[in-house]
Amino acid sequence: MNSAMPTLTRKQLRGYGASRYLTRRLTASLQPVAKSGNAYVYAVDQAISAIREHKSRARIQLTTKEVLEQILAQLLAQLDNVVPLVTNGTTTEVSDVAQQLLNQMRRTDKALSEMKATVASIGKRTN
C-alpha cells in the first residue's frame, strides 16, 4: 500500500455519519487496497467517486444526500489539492514567503484531515 495515498475503512465512513447500510452500498463496488486487521482499506479517491455516483441516483432521500455531502466534504479535505505557486523564473522574497505559506497551509489541512479520520475510526462523529 502506498503510504502517501489517503485511505479509509468502513468504520471511518460510519464515523463520518454513514449508516451501516450506506457504508456497505458505497464500498460494494470498491476494490480494497489493503487489509488492516479484519478491516478492508479503500482509497479515498475511489470512495469519493462512489459517493458522487450514489448521490446522483434519483431515489436517494434528502437526509441521505445531506450525509453524503458531509462525508464528501471530509474526504475531499484529505486529498492534497494544493496548486503549486508559479513564478516567472525569478525568486523574490514575496514568492518565497507565499510558497512557504502554501506549504504550511497544506500541512495544516493534511494534519486536520488525518485527525478527523482518526476520530472517525474511533467511532465518534465530527461536524
Domain definitions of the chain by residue range: 7-122
User: How would DSSP label each residue in 46-103?
Assistant: HHHHHHHHHHTSTT--HHHHHHHHHHHHHHHHHS--PPPPP--S---HHHHHHHHHHH
pLDDT at 83 over 90: no
For residues 117 and 10, give the distance between their C-alpha atoms in angstroms, rounded to a whole number: 11
Q: Give the closest residue to 111 by CA, choosing from 85, 77, 76.
A: 77
The residue among 2 and 75 whose pLDDT is bigger is 75
Residue-level pLDDT at 126: 47
pLDDT at 103 over 90: no
**Pair 100, 86: CB distance under 8 Å:** no
pLDDT at 85 over 70: no
Angle between helices 62-78 and 20-27 (to 10 degrees): 60
For residues 47 and 74, give the distance between their C-alpha atoms in angstroms, rounded to a whole number: 11
The residue among 81 and 50 whose pLDDT is bigger is 50
Q: What is the grid cell recorded at 111?
A: 494534519
Tens-digit pLDDT profile for residues 10-56: 999 999 999 999 999 999 999 999 998 899 999 998 999 999 999 99
In whole numbers, what is the pLDDT of the chain averaged over residues? 83
CA 46, 50, 51, 53 dihedral sign is: positive
The residue among 78 and 91 whose pLDDT is bigger is 78
For residues 99 and 85, give the distance between their C-alpha atoms in angstroms, rounded to a whole number: 6
Q: What is the grid cell recorded at 14?
A: 460510519
Q: What is the pTM of this model?
A: 0.65
